[in-house]
């Protein structure tokens, strides 16, 4: 096997590995953003429920 064929195969393999790695990172970032939005929504909903519950107790 000549060195050019080896070099091309090596760089092709590295390119494929980088594509897989970037896809995994992107998937992880998407999951983290989704969890963050879900947590934010739960916090806002809880705060609104607490405020409206307090208003119902205070107002006649």
Q: Specify the pLDDT at position 7.
A: 79
Distance CA 59, CA 2 (A): 86
Decide: helix, strand or coil at residue 2: coil
In this predicted structure, the answer to whether residue 41 has a pLDDT above a threshold of 90 is yes
Cα→Cα distances 37→5, 10, 16, 46, Å: 48, 41, 32, 14
Band of pLDDT at residue 50, cut at 50, 70 and 90:
very high
The angle at the Cα of 7, spanning 5 to 11, to the nearest 5 degrees, equals 120
pTM above 0.75, yes or no: no
Segment 45-50 mean pLDDT: 96
Segment 4-32 mean pLDDT: 76
Distance CA 37, CA 16 (A): 32
Most confident of 18-27, 30-39, 49-58: 49-58
């Amino acid at each position: 096997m000549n060195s050019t064929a080896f070099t091309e195969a090596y760089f092709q393999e590295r390119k494929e590995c980088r594509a897989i790695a970037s896809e995994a990172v992107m998937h992880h970032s998407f999951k983290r953003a989704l969890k963050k939005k879900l947590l934010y929504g739960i916090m806002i909903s809880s705060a609104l429920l607490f405020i409206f519950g307090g208003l119902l107790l205070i107002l006649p």
